[in-house]
Amino acid sequence: MASEHTLTTEGASGHTLTFTDGAFDQDVLNAEVPVLVDFWAPWCGPCKAMGPTVDALAAEYAGKVKIGKINTDENPATAMRYQVRGIPTLLLFKGGKVVDQRVGAMPKPEVLKMITPHLASAATPEKAS
């Protein structure tokens, strides 16, 4: 079921993508923009708490960063491939490689600290300091 190439959107923003084991290389590793992947499971309370943050960032950074989720229960191969041992885990990919990672629920400013250094300076919605 998870082997076909499908990118679906979920969440209130409509911008949050759903990644699968079968299409991970194509959707994430071969992407032309940075990709933030939220490894989660439906039974995980902290994962659910991260949902609104991930959805908000997906909407704010649409076209600049691909942001999506991968259900580790349904897609265990990718979680094992990247040695995800606890969820939620956020991995940021750029050029097919992991460039940052965090484990555990965190507020939006912490997630932004992962994303912002990997964007072109004109792509960030925040003011210059």
d(CA 3, CA 78): 12
* Beta-bridge partner residues of 9: 17
Q: Which residues contact 6 (CB under 8 A, 6 or more apart)?
A: 18, 20, 23
Catalytic residue among 44, 54, 58, 115: 44
Catalytic annotation present for 44: yes
Catalytic residue among 17, 47, 79, 92: 47
Q: Burial of 108 by CB count in 10 Å (0-12 exposed, 13-18 middle, 19+ buried)?
A: middle
Look at residues 90, 101, 93 and name the one whose alpha carbon lies nearest to residue 31: 93
Catalytic annotation present for 58: no
- Residues with catalytic annotation? 44, 47
